[in-house]
Chains A and B, each alone.
Chain A
Amino acid sequence: MKKWSLTDRIGYAYTAPALAVVALLMAFPLLYTFMLSFQKNDVFANETKFVGLRQFARLFEDPVFVLAIRNTVVWTAACVAFQFLLGLLAAVAINQEFVKGKTVIRLLIMVPWVLPGIVGVQTWKWSYHPDFGIINHALKSLGIISHDITWTSGSSTALLSAIIVNVWKMFPFVMLMLEAALQSVPKELKEAAYVDGARPLRIFFAVTMPHIMMTSLTVILLLTIWTFNAFTFIFALTAGGPAHKSEILSLYIYRQGFQNLNFGLASAASVVLFLLTMAFSLVYIRFFMRKGEEA
């Protein structure tokens, strides 16, 4: 056995308490989820038995689970795309030199991001209300719709309603991150390109974009992981309904685990969610962020 050096001992002493908490509250539960996913447990009979991969097979035979995966993909792709685009446009707009009152504009735009998530969801739910909601009223006054829309309970609008709320909540974060990155773009470069006769759009893609590439890629990765695993928005807004039309994986896990008390199946679904998140992150980092670093 190698003896620990003084540096080792002091380093471990400082970090051990925090690392112990992480091991107990993250590493162990994660392993435990994997274990549970191979076990079928009967809460009422209080017995568990090893069933191998049978619960995973059951998951993929469940049309609701397959629908939940599809919903999760649609939900994540739509949310992240609009969060990023709106955030990028906002950052570029507010970064224009001539814009006055930047501080106030920034503060106001950041309100959705600062408010507790559930507050935003409940307020939107009230605004979406089919009879008393302000959204239907405004759209009708503007002549965009003629009949009230049942936003959060309509089978074609439930997921869309939640997507709008999530975009509203998170685009300010994108703006904040990208605005900071935009400020690092050297002015001389843009001016030089302008003198050379490049048009604004060309300057944006040739000069600005490369400078904010790494930040953009990081932000997109974070947004994807968060959205993929988001729970509050959909739970409080639509509860996954109607008829599972807006049910995403996190809600499926919640339903199986805490409503049907089927911890084995819920754990198997958690494992699937975990593996999908990890697979995406690894592929993304390997193919996009490494390349971004080289550029």
Chain B
Amino acid sequence: MRSKRWKKIFTFAPVYVFLLGLVFFSVFPSLWMFLTSIKPPNEVFTTPPRYWAENPTLDNYNRVLFESRIPRAFLNSTLVSAATGLITLLLALPAGYGFARYRFTGAGLLSTSLLFGQMLPAVVLVIPLYIVLNKLDLIDTHAGLIIANLSVTIPVAVMMMRSYIESVPRELEEAAKIDGVGNIGVLVRIVMPVSIPGIVAVSIFTVIHAWEEFLYALNFANSAAVKTLPITLAEFSGQFKIDWGGMMSAAVVISLPVLLLFLICNKYFVKGLSDGAVKG
């Protein structure tokens, strides 16, 4: 009896210690970000650093929200992410439906090339996209960023939509067609309502992708009127030295919408991000 209990403790303890260590490793940077964001400057810049915020303050947030470029960038990011999400969905829903339900000539080849496209790294396209957007006068515009984002989101979203629709029984569609509902009607009135979970997952994937997209935003946006949050955060600095307190509050502001979305619709969120990564 006693030895059994000891054996249990010897197997349980290391697993728990390991998991606790991982939780600490995962969460500590975010905690540190938050703690720094509520410290007054004289507590941010101390040697040795202090763990706790002795006189918590919202000064950093004040500066970020009212005196920095973050609010403007927030607006830009919202616009770019929402538009990327909407356009991606408008294109991916019919395309996913087409691939899922119609065995048309070349469907196999085309979906293979989409898979290939999904594996194509963004870095490889950054130079030609810049030149093309430049010729179209779309550098430093929201439209330019949205278009660039589509090159990443469309292939992934189409494949996600397709595999979701394939998992939905097609009897309803057949019945509607017999009742004389047209092709567009079937898509809008029959397929869309039952595909809501897939649509939510795709939307989360695209919006989150656009929200944190860095490489294209760095090179295709130059002015504060267009720059998105990630770029503005990367360039965040004070007049003489980097304002780390302000930077960390800005980081909290950028993370908050994502963390909220993650907490509220955890299941969809994880599905959106992981399906977007794997299934494609």
Contacts and interface: CB of A to CB of B under 8 A. Distances in A.
A229 interface: yes
B98 A14 contact: yes
Contact of A225 (B119, B219, B251): B119
A43 to B, nearest CB: 10
B contact patch SS: helix
Given A94-B19, A111-B26, A118-B214, A231 B123 contact: yes
A15 to B, nearest CB: 4
Interface string A238-275: 00000000000110011001100001001100100110
Interface string B257-280: 011001100100110011001100
A219 B263 CA distance: 25
Interface residues of A, number: 89
Given A7-B104, A118-B233, A137-B49, A30 B120 contact: yes
A274 B26 contact: no
Nearest to A172: B26
B127 interface: yes
A117 B94 CA distance: 31
Nearest to B18: A93
A176 B127 contact: no
Given A229-B124, A253-B123, A273-B124, A114 B269 contact: yes
Given A14-B97, A116-B230, A117-B214, 6 more contacts: A10-B102, A29-B129, A114-B259, A115-B258, A126-B32, A222-B277
Interface of B: 12, 15-16, 18-19, 22-23, 25-27, 29-30, 32-33, 36, 44-49, 51, 91-92, 94-95, 97-99, 102-105, 107, 110, 113-114, 117, 119-132, 147-148, 150-151, 154-155, 158, 183, 187, 211-212, 214-215, 218-219, 229-230, 233-234, 236, 244, 247-248, 251, 254-255, 258-259, 262-263, 266, 269-270, 273-274, 277-278
